[in-house]
Amino acid sequence: MSFPTTRLRRLRRTDTLRALVRETSLSLDDVVMPLFACPGEGVVRPVEGLPGIAQRSVDELVREAGELARAGVLAVLLFGIPEVKDADGSGAWDDDGIVQRALRALRAEVPGLTLLTDVCLCEYTEHGHCGVLEGDTVANDETLELLARTAVSHVESGADAVCPSDMMDGRVGAIRAALPETPIVSYAAKYASAFYGPFREVAESAPSFGDRRGYQMDPANRREALRECTLDLEEGADVLMVKPALPYLDVIRAVRERFDCPVWAYQVSGEYAMVRAAADAGHLEERRAALEALTAIKRAGAGTIVTYWAKDLGSWL
């Protein structure tokens, strides 16, 4: 039927009617909060480019994780800033490394929280690239063993799942061979994006030369993302992640339609920082803009979203 019989506005008249017919909903079950562990004690070091986010020493990280759990957040994704960096990123798999210490403390103090870890070398190498170097080039195959060692050390320290983000070819297979029973959340389609700037500040992981376009994906490519996902599933990935999220909604949708597995998205630091900056300048309302962006990511097909708004959602929802 057509107008005037058909009037779609009828179901938009009240909050309750809109809720009853809403096609996409957000829940705290759908989000993961990134956390950044740093050396020291009693350290909460805010980051200028990422309002509300900070590097935290292990004791403060435990305190923050407890607040997250009480707010209803179910999972965190851990990153580490080591005291010392070297050419190989050896702090990444050190049994007494910063992430390993944080995992043990969180497992003891916040036992109900699901602990995910980012597996990459960029925060631990003195050059800031995601693997070991041969000259000025990241050596793919030589990096795989180090990534697997890192993942194993995380699991031995208490991680529930590992999340390789380095974009080396074959890294899921290397980790799966070392950890046959551990969930692997693969950053399968990770793009060489301009939206990572604030993260590199908080994680202290900016490359000292060049960029990461030689191993992260070209933002112009979508079909290649599906090839990456196919290979990662064949190597043993349990979950596929697309990063960034909002500029790549079409990729999230394509992955969701192609693969019968959990699909996640990472709403990256630049996406968060843009909205926060616009809200601070009075150009928009942070809560509404954040919820709209998160809903768009969920609507595109992401079942779970890594987001810096996870803690805020505890009160907003």
Catalytic annotation, residues: 190, 243
Q: What residues contact 278, with CB distance under 8 A and at least 6 apart?
A: 284, 289
CA dist 241 and 302 (Å) reads: 9
Nearest 5°: CA angle at 135, between 177 and 143?
A: 10
CA dist 248 and 264 (Å) reads: 12
CA dist 299 and 252 (Å) reads: 10
Helix ranges (DSSP H) in 179-285? 197-202, 223-235, 249-258, 269-280
Contacts 24+ apart (CB under 8 A), 67-72: 67/311, 68/33, 68/113, 68/310, 68/311, 68/314, 69/110, 69/112, 69/113, 71/28, 71/311, 71/314, 71/315, 72/28, 72/314
**Is there a contact between 153 and 95 (Cβ–Cβ < 8 Å)?**
yes
